[in-house]
Amino acid sequence: PYAGPPTSEILRKRTQFLNPTMVHLYKNPLNVVAGKMQYLFDETGRRYLDAFGGIATVGCGHCHPEVIDAIIDQTKKLQHSTVLYLNHAIADFAEALASKMPGDLKVVFFTNSGTEANELAMLMARLYTGCQDIISLRNGYHGNAPTTMAATAHSNWKFNVVQTGMHHAVSPDPYRGVFGSDGEQYAKDVQGIIDYGTSGQVAGFISEAIQGVGGVVELAPGYLPAVYNIIKKAGGLCIADEVQAGFARTGSHFWGFEAHGVVPDMVTMAKGIGNGIPLGAVVTTPEIAQVLARRIYNNTFGGNPVCTAGGHAVLKVLEKEKLQENAFIVGSYLKDRLEALQEKHDIIGDVRGRGLMIGVELVTDHKLKTPAKAETLHIMEEMREMGVLVGKGGFYGNVFRILPPLCFTKDDADFLVDTMDFAMSQL
């Protein structure tokens, strides 16, 4: 039984003492007191199926015992800064992570968050190339520090401060974009930005393979190979932001970029890497990594023993429990069921995504694609009442983001779709 303070008390403290822009997903904010695998529990002991926790915890699920044990064991032995002495936890995890990477991507820099990882990757791109200009995609999200906020191309997340050296290319969005699924057409915009907006040379390009915050937008096929070629010709480096799509989530591949047949110069990651603990990383080549040797670069807690012991345990669990395969099987099943639901309910404009990273976009008019924002909120509330938690995103806030822990089952998928179906039928 839960013995903590009542929800009203927590809400009062949050309102009085915490960041006023923190969002509540629900009208009556949910107070979660415990988690187990794909479930969350509120203060009354009510269980919820968590179909959004995957943005913070990878497939292992909430409080996976093997990850917890690894964290506790290491906490009992030593928790310290990363930079002063040798410790095996960070070295072992770096080796294991590098083994999951293609090509020459073998050097790991650990950070505490995705923002830090992307800041570092873009810093290295600028140092390596001697150029300032970076191209990112409209509708992308990369973080909230100066360079990452500049790269984030979503006015909801941008503050009015100086953001230099950043250009935003048209997002190759197969549903809303003007060129549909023709990736190569969208890529021409990147060439145009280089030709008309820069000296002809750039530091690099950063993008997600599937835009998460932007509403689970899978980049049009053919886009990334064409853009990577254009960027290489302009002397730049390509950065894959795998903060949401990485770590087996897409099912077909371990990393999101792999589905596009490209090999980036740098890969950034966070969230799922640690199943909920603060950890991020940049993985790059020895040659690019060398640029930081010009000065001293370190991060007091990035890759500390406790977090890296946890991260290493996550990798082992992903493999042992075949969670990539599960993401593929259950994700395909869930997507099929949602596509069938689209036939039934006119409000569903698009079902998209890969593996257990799925978006359902709601519109009031199929031709005009008018965002059904109020309906999205209403259905989300109704699903919560029925015990299912989904996320929401997209520029207009009209896309359900379904990113469950990767241990999600077909029964869970059925329950999710049935509640969505019921809520839509009641509209």
Q: Name the site residues for ligand PMP (rule: CB under 6 A).
A: 113-115, 118, 141-143, 208, 212-213, 241, 243-244, 270
Tell me how far, at minimum, the Cβ of 212 lies from ligand PMP, in Å: 4
Q: Rounded to the nearest whole angstrom, what is the least distance from the CB of residue 163 to ligand PMP in the complex?
A: 16
Closest distance between ligand PMP and the C-beta of residue 302, in Å?
12
Between 32 and 56, name the residue whose CB sits nearer to ligand PMP.
56
* Distance in angstroms (rounded) separating the CA atoms of residues 338 and 350: 10
What are the φ and ψ backbone dihedral angles of 363, each rounded to 5 degrees?
Answer: -135, 150
* Least CB distance to ligand PMP at residue 353 (A): 14
- Given strand 388-389, what is the order of strands in its sheet? 32-36, 39-42, 47-50, 388-389
Nearer to ligand PMP, 43 or 218 (CB): 218
Distance CA 361, CA 366 (A): 11
Do the Cβ atoms of 67 and 279 come closer than 8 Å? Answer: no
- CB of 427 vs ligand PMP, minimal distance in Å: 29
Considering the complex, state which of residue 51 and residue 424 has its C-beta at the smaller distance from ligand PMP. 51
Q: Which amino acid is at 411?
A: D
Judge whether 87 and 80 are in contact, CB under 8 Å: yes
Query: What beta strand segments (E) does 298-376 contain?
Result: 348-354, 357-365, 370-371
Query: What's the closest the beta carbon of residue 199 comes to ligand PMP, in angstroms?
Result: 28
Cα–Cα distance between 13 and 274 in angstroms, integer? 28
Residue nearest to ligand PMP (CB): 114
Query: What are the beta bridge partners of residue 48?
Result: 40
The nearer residue to ligand PMP, 270 or 317, going by C-beta atoms, is: 270
To ligand PMP, the closest distance from the beta carbon of 270 in angstroms equals 4
DSSP secondary structure code for residue 387 in this structure:
T
Give the phi and the psi of residue 176 in degrees, each rounded to 5: -105, -15
* Cβ 97 to ligand PMP shortest distance, Å: 17
Q: Which is nearer to ligand PMP, 273 or 417 (CB)?
A: 273
3-state DSSP percent of the chain in helix, strand and coil, to 5: 40, 20, 40
Complex with ligand PMP: residue 41 or 255, whichever CB lies closer: 255
| Dihedral sign (CA 373, 378, 380, 383) | negative
And the tokens for 240?
């894959």
Nearer to ligand PMP by C-beta: 71 or 243? 243
Two tokens, residue 273 = 């890497």
